Amino acid sequence: MPLSSESLAQLDAFVRAADYLGAAQLYLRENVRLREPLEPAQIKPRLLGHWGTQPGLNLIYAHVSRLIRDTGQKALLMVGPGHGAPAILGCLWLEGTLGAVYPEFTRDGAGMARLIRSFSWPGGFPSHLTALTPGAIHEGGELGYSLVHAFGAALDNPELIVFCVVGDGEAETGPLAGSWHWPKFIDPAHDGAVLPILHLNGVKLSGPAFYARMTREELAAYFTGCGYVTREVAGSSPEEVHAPLAEALEWAQGEIHALQARARGDAAPSYNGWPVIVLRTPKGMTAPLTLDGLPIVGTFRSHQIPITDPRTNPAHLRVLQDWLRSYHPDELFDGEGRPIAAITAILPPPELMLGRCPQANGGTIRVPLELPDIAAQAVAVSAPGAVRAQSTAIMGDWLREVFRANAASGNFRLFCPDETNSNHLGAVFEVTARAWNLPLDPADVGLARGGRVMEILSEHCCEGWLEGYLLSGRHGVFACYEAFIGIIDTMMAQYAKWQKMARDIPWRVPVASLNYLLTSHVWEQDHNGYSHQGPTFINTLLMRKSAEVRVYLPPDANCLLAISEHCLRGVGLINLIVASKNMHGQWLDLDQARAHCARGAAIWEWASCEGEPDIVLAAAGDVPTAETLAAASLLKRDLPALKVRVVNVVDLLTLESAGDHPHAMDEAAFTALFTDTAPVVFAFHGYPLLIHELIYRRPDPGRFHVKGYREEGTTTTPFDMLVVNGMSRYDIAIEALHRTARLRTQAGDVIERYETKLTTHRAHITAHGEDMPEITEWRWA
C-alpha cells in the first residue's frame, strides 16, 4: 500500500536530519546548528571519517524504523559498510537511544553539539560501529562478515528479521560471497530471517564496484541462482527513493512472513524465494555535485571527506556552509535543538527501536546452558595409561547430552566445516542433525530441517555464524581442523577487540564465551602432509589482550571433559581447546582431572622420582604428554640414578608471569613445579618460541629447552612427525641427558643408544611404511 504524503514527508525529514548530523560530525567542532556564518576556527583540525556510505544508511535506518512503527516487526539492523558510524550515531541520537545509553547526548542542542564534536575526537566515537554503538553487534571495519553475523543472529529467533545492509565493496569479498547461501540452512519454522539489502552506490575508495556495474538482469539472475527473489530500487536522490523503498520493504516483509507461515504449517520449507533488495543510489548523494571543477557525488571523491580543506581554503568553507544549510537545519530542529515532531513521528515505540533491540546486547537475554554431569561420560582410569580412548569421541558423547539437555530452550549449536564425523564428534547426530533445507538423496545421512549442527565448508561462515549467535545471546562450539582455523585469524582478532571494548562498557552485559575445539591437529596429520600441519592459531590468539583469552591443552579425555564443561559455563572469553581425536593413553581419573585442570599445571607424582629433580620433563598437549612420559620411562629404565620430575601443563597461560594473565602462577607456585635451578626440557604442542616468550621473566628462563613444531612436515608416519621436529621420546631423553651435569659421564652410552634408535626408526619406516612395534605398542608401566 503506498505511503501517505504525511509519512513520506516524515521520512524525508528524518533522512535530511540524519544526513545533516552525519556531515556535521565530519567537519564541525563548534557552531553545530549554523546559527551564524561558519568560521575556519569552527572546523575540526583533523578531518576524519567517511561520507560516501552515509546517505544510504540513513535512508535504510529511516525506512526500517517506519516499517517497525507500522507493523510491530521485531528487528535487528546489521550494518556491513565500513565507516558508517556517523550515520548510525546520528540516527540513534534522533531516536533518543544514544541519550538513553549515554546521558550526555541529550536530544537537544547541547546533546547535538556533544555528538558532533565527539566523532573522531580523542575519547569520542570512532569511524566504525563498535561495541560503543547501541543496537550493534557488527563493526564493519573488516569487510565481508555482515551477512554471516546476521544469519547467526537469526538462528533460533523466530520472530526476528535481521535487516542486513551489504555494501557493494563488501560484496566483492570471498566471505560475503559464501554468505549468500544461508537460506539453505535456515529453518523458517523455528528461525528468524535475514533481509539482505545490497546497497550499490557505485564506487569504492578509488575505483568502481563491479556489482554496481552489473545490470538489473544480471543481478536478478545471480540472486535467483542463490535462491532469492530480487526487488531493485533506484534513484538519484532520497525523494526519488522513498516511495519505492517503502514498497520494497513491505513486499520483502510479506514474502518472509509467507515463507515462515508455510513452514510453520504443514508445508515443507523452501530454500528458494527469500527476498533480497538491491538499492542503487549515487555515492555520497546530497553532497555538493562538484568541487574545484571535479565531480563529487557518484564518484570516489565522495567516499571519504568530499570537501577537503575548509579550514584554510575560503572557497571550500563556503561550499561546506552551503552544503550543510541545504538540509535546512532550522526547519529540522526547534529553538532548543530538539528534532521536530515530523522526525520522531516515524519512530516505533522505544522497546522496538533499532538501537534497543535486545539481541544487540545478547548478554541481557542469555540463558545459561543446562550442563549434564560429565561423570556419565568419564573414562574409568584404574591406573595411569591402563586404558586407551579417543578424547574427542568422549567429548562428542557429552555434547550429545548437552544438546539433549537444552533441546527445549534451543540455545546451543555446534559449528563445524564438514568435519563433525571426521573429528569423532558424531555422537551428537544421535539427537540432532545437520541443518539442511535442500533436497535429500537416499544415501544422505544426518541431514534434516531444523538440525542444530551447522556444517558448511567455509571456516569464515562457521566463525561468523557462531559470532552472531553468541552476540545475540546464545551458546556454541566451533570445531575445526587445527591447520585451517587460521583462515579466520583476523575475524577472531576483530571479535576479540569487540569483546575487549565491551568489557569496559557498563551497559554491555557479557555474552557466552567463544569456544574453539581444534582437533585433527599437527601431530595427527602425518597422512595429509605438510599443508595440514600447522599449530599457528595458539600464537595468533595469544596476541590478544590477556583478559580475553584462554588456551587449554588437555592431556586426556577426562581433562578434555573438565575443560569443556568449564568453557561452556563461561562468559566473555575466547577459549581455545586443542585435543586429539585418535586413540591415546588415559592418565587421570575424573577427580584427578578436575583437580589438575583447576590448578592448570601440576607435578605428576606417579611419573616422577622423589626429592629434588636433576631434570624436569614438562609437557603441554596430548601427544607431547605421551612422548614425555615415554621419555621418562626410558630414562628410569636406562639411567635409574637420574632423578626425573614430570610436570604437565593443561592451562597454557599459567606459565605467564604473575600479573601478565589472570591464570598466571605466582612465583612460589612456579618454583614448586620447575624449581629455580633444575634444567627443564619442555615438550610443547606448538612452536617452541612461544614457551620462551611466556616464561621470559621467570627465574633463569635460559634453563628451559623447548621441543615442539619446527615447521618440519611431510607425508610420513605419526612417530616420524615427532622425529623430524625433534620432539620424539628419544630426542627428549637425549636433550635431558645433555642438560644433566651430575650423571654426564654415565650418559654417553645411553645417548648413543637413543641415537641408534632414531636411525633404526628411519630405516624401519622406509622399509615397512609404519612405525616400529615398540613405538605403536608402547604403554606406560
8 A C-beta contact, residue 388 and residue 586: yes
Q: Please, which pLDDT band fits residue 528 given cuts at 50, 70 and 90?
A: confident
Question: pLDDT digit string (tens) for 272-305?
Answer: 899 999 999 999 999 999 999 999 999 999 999 9
- AA identity, residue 591: D
In whole angstroms, give the CA distance from residue 724 to residue 705: 17
Contacts of 465 by beta carbon, 8 Å cutoff, 6+ apart: 148, 151, 152, 155, 415, 454
Answer whether residue 636 shows pLDDT above 70: yes
Q: Name the pLDDT band for 766 (thresholds 50, 70, 90).
A: very high
> How much is the average pLDDT of 540-557?
94
- Domain boundaries, given as residue ranges, for the chain: 5-364, 389-585, 611-776
What pLDDT score was predicted for residue 141? 80
| CB 391, CB 398: distance < 8 Å | no
Over residues 582-591, mean pLDDT: 96
Q: What whole-number distance in Å separates Cα of residue 101 and Cα of residue 119?
A: 16
Cα(586)–Cα(522) distance, integer angstroms: 20
Average the pLDDT over each of 380-394, 409-423, 516-530, 571-585 and give the range with the smallest value: 516-530
Mean pLDDT of the chain: 95
* pLDDT (tens digit per residue) in 712-737: 988 899 999 999 999 999 999 999 99
Question: 231: pLDDT confidence band, cut at 50, 70 and 90?
Answer: very high
Q: Residue range 558-583: average pLDDT? A: 97
How confident is the model over 219-244, as a mean pLDDT?
95
pLDDT at 149: 97
> Residue 292 has which C-alpha cell?
574545484
Supply the CATH classification number for the domain 611-776.
3.40.50.920
pLDDT band at 579 (very low <50, low <70, confident <90, very high): very high
Which architecture, in CATH terms, is 389-585? 3-Layer(aba) Sandwich (3.40)
| pLDDT tens readout for residues 72-114 | 999 999 999 989 999 999 999 999 999 999 999 999 999 999 9
Instruction: Answer yes or no: same fold for 5-364 and 389-585.
Output: yes
In this predicted model, what pLDDT tens digit does every residue of 594-620 receive, in sequence order? 999 999 999 999 999 999 999 999 999
Q: What is the pLDDT of residue 269?
A: 66
Which of 339-348, 501-510, 654-663 bottoms out in mean pLDDT, i.e. has the lowest? 654-663
CA–CA gap between residue 526 and residue 543 (Å, rounded):
28
Cell of 193: 530471517
Please say whether the dihedral angle defined by the alpha carbons of residues 28, 30, 34 and 36, taken in this order, is positive or negative.
negative
Domain spanning 5-364: CATH superfamily: Thiamin diphosphate (ThDP)-binding fold, Pyr/PP domains (3.40.50.970)
Whether 639 and 734 have beta carbons less than 8 Å apart is answered as no
How much is the average pLDDT of 338-366?
A: 98
Alpha-carbon distance of 16 to 100, in angstroms, equals: 23
* 3-class state of residue 275 by DSSP: strand
CB 573 within 8 A of CB 542: no
Distance CA 725, CA 182 (A): 42
> CA dist 98 to 77, 140, 229, 358, 611, Å?
15, 19, 36, 15, 64
Whole-prediction pTM? 0.96
Burial 350-389 (b: 16+ CB within 10 A, else e): eebbbbbbbbbbbbeebeebebbebeebbbebeebbeeeb
Which residues, in sequence order, are CB contacts of 669 under 8 Å at separation 6+? none
